[in-house]
Structures are given as C-alpha cells and as structure tokens.
Amino acid sequence: MKIIALVPVRNEAWVLEHSLACWSGFCDVVIVNDQMSTDTTRDICRRFPKVVLLESKPADTVARLPQQGRWRLLDAARNYDGHNLLWCTDADELTPPTLARSFFEQHARDLAPRQVIECRFYNLWDSLTRYRQDLSYYGPLWKPMGFVDDRIVDYPRGEVRPLHEPRMPVETSESAIQATDLPILHLQWTMWNRNQMKQAWYRCIDFMDKRMTAAEVNAFYSVTLREPYVHTAPVPPSWLADITLPNGNTDRQPAWQEAEIRGWFDERGIEFFEPLEIWHLPSLRREFRQRTGRSPRPDRSYLPPRLVRARKLGRRVFHAVKRRVLP
C-alpha cells in the first residue's frame, strides 16, 4: 500500500514549500494538480522528488467546475496499482510528518478498502502559533482527511457542481479511525487580508452563477467576517517540531483573487456586485467609489434586528472579559 497525497493548487507559493516538505515526510507520492498558477507554484513543485505535477489546460475553468481538480487527482492516483491510502488535503494544511508516520505504522493492519481516517483539524487564528479554541464553526473539529481507495468509489461528476463540496468521494464511515495524535494545522486564517479577498472571490462566483441570492450569499459567508472577540490557545510545540512555517509578511502582498474580481467588475459592471458583502475590503471599496461616485450598499437583510445583535455582542463581550479576569 502506498500513501498518496492529492493536492489541488492555484498560486500557493506562499505556503507550498512548507506543506510539500510535510507530505514528502510521510507519503510515497504527492500528486499536485496545478490550476493555472501565475506565481512560482510549479517551480516549487519541481524541487520535490516525490511530487507528480499535473498541469491544467487554459480551457479548464476552475471557478465554474471547482471539483474538476479533485477528479483529475483521483484519476491520477489510480495509475498506481493496489488499494492505496489517498490523503486528500489542501496547500495550506500542514501535517506533522513524524506524527503521521507513527500513526500509519500503528494502524497499518486496520487500513482496509474504504476505511476513512479523521484527524483533529485546527484553524490557526491571526497567528502562526495560536489556534481558535471555541465551539464555533472554526473551532477544533474532526475532519476526514484520507481513505483507502477501493478503486470503485467516485465523485458525482455533473456538469455544474456546488462551489464547496467534500474533498473526498467517501467521507462518512461508522468505523472511521480517529487519529487523535495527528493534528492538521490550517493556515488560511493566519493570512487575514489574503483570506478576506479569497472569501470575496467566493461570494462573487456564487452570485454570478446564480447559486444563491445576494442575501443568501452574504448569510452563508457571514461566518468569515472578523469577530471582535475570539478565544485562542497556543499551538503545542510538539506539533511544530518537524515543520516549517511561512513568513507572516506574505499577508501584505496582494492576493491573486483581487485581479480576477476587478476583471469581473469590468465585464459585468461594478454595481452588479453591489449587494454582496465584499466592500469591507478597502481596495474594493475604493474601487466602487471611484467608479460610481458613492459608497456601496450591500444587502444585509439576513441580519437580525439591531437590538438582537447588540444583546448578542454584549454576551460575547461579557464572556470574553470573564475568561480573562476570572481564574
């Protein structure tokens, strides 16, 4: 049995060297499907001997078929004989290689076809050394990360699929193995500015494809907006012992999604996107004012009344202060 990492990427040079080093530390093969990157992503991939690089063609429209990269990765993995363990991950997710090797050695006899592996998933928050520790959507959770391929299971390959779909063709199993001592460190929320532009890009795609109304889009992505009080905890040093982390200055560089959003403004007119809650981003807000001469008015009809929001905020502030003051 081989361990094969499957990774779709697009302009991930900021973190890819670090994550490829992690996967190379416990995987036999790392298959990367590059989706038309314009940075040094492909050059980085070529420096790692275990990496097999798949390059998308210009006709592959990532925004309209978001799962297409996952399909190509699964097909490529099946070029290797046997029932292999497929590790389905993203570029900004670091897996400590020593802990991974230990886990797979311990459970080698348990890895039968269709066996699912779940890991504890931690969102590092506004820091490379702290993770979000609460009961929110972004608190620690069990996440399916790998499965043993039976060479039969597949994704639903329709012409148009939702933007956010499961990364694995099989994710649920009553007998899933929970890798208690194998944390996954998600770095998306350490780069706040880049991530906010990424979320704006998602909003625009969903709205253009008429998957949801503007209010529904805004409600769905409302969890990605900055919250005033977030409880975090320090990342244990043992999790970081054999991994490297990107430079925090990366967040000051423009995100590639912004150029695509501006292109959509040119194609459809910026007022088409006015109902979306993307104008908290200073560069987009300035662009709207320059093009229209006024401030944007996003559709916030999904929000509860102000009094309800004020009470909710008050409770959050009270509990945040309580946690910091009381022993």
Check pLDDT > 60 for residue 66.
no
Structure tokens at 24: 């190379």
Assign 323 a pLDDT band (cuts: 50, 70, 90): low
Residue 23: closest CA among 1, 46, 50:
50
pLDDT of residue 21: 98
pLDDT of residue 175: 86
CA-CA distance, 114 to 149, in Å (whole number)? 6
107: CB partners within 8 A, 6+ apart: 177
pLDDT of residue 309: 47
Q: Are strands 141-148 and 116-123 parallel, antiparallel or unpaired?
A: antiparallel
Question: What integer is the mean pLDDT of 66-86?
Answer: 91
Q: What is the pTM of this model?
A: 0.88
In tens, the pLDDT along 119-153 reads 999 999 999 999 999 999 999 999 999 999 999 99
Check pLDDT > 60 for residue 261.
yes
pLDDT of residue 40: 95
CA atoms within 13 A on the CB side of 263: 7
pLDDT of residue 251: 84
CATH 3.90.550 fits 3-119+143-183, yes or no: yes
Check pLDDT > 80 for residue 320.
no
CA-CA distance, 139 to 238, in Å (whole number)? 20
Residue appearing with tokens 């994710």? 171
Domain ranges across the chain: 3-119+143-183, 190-320
Least-confidence region, from 20-34, 127-141, 240-254: 240-254
User: What is the chain's mean pLDDT, rounded?
Assistant: 90
Assign 228 a pLDDT band (cuts: 50, 70, 90): confident
80: CB partners within 8 A, 6+ apart: 2, 4, 29
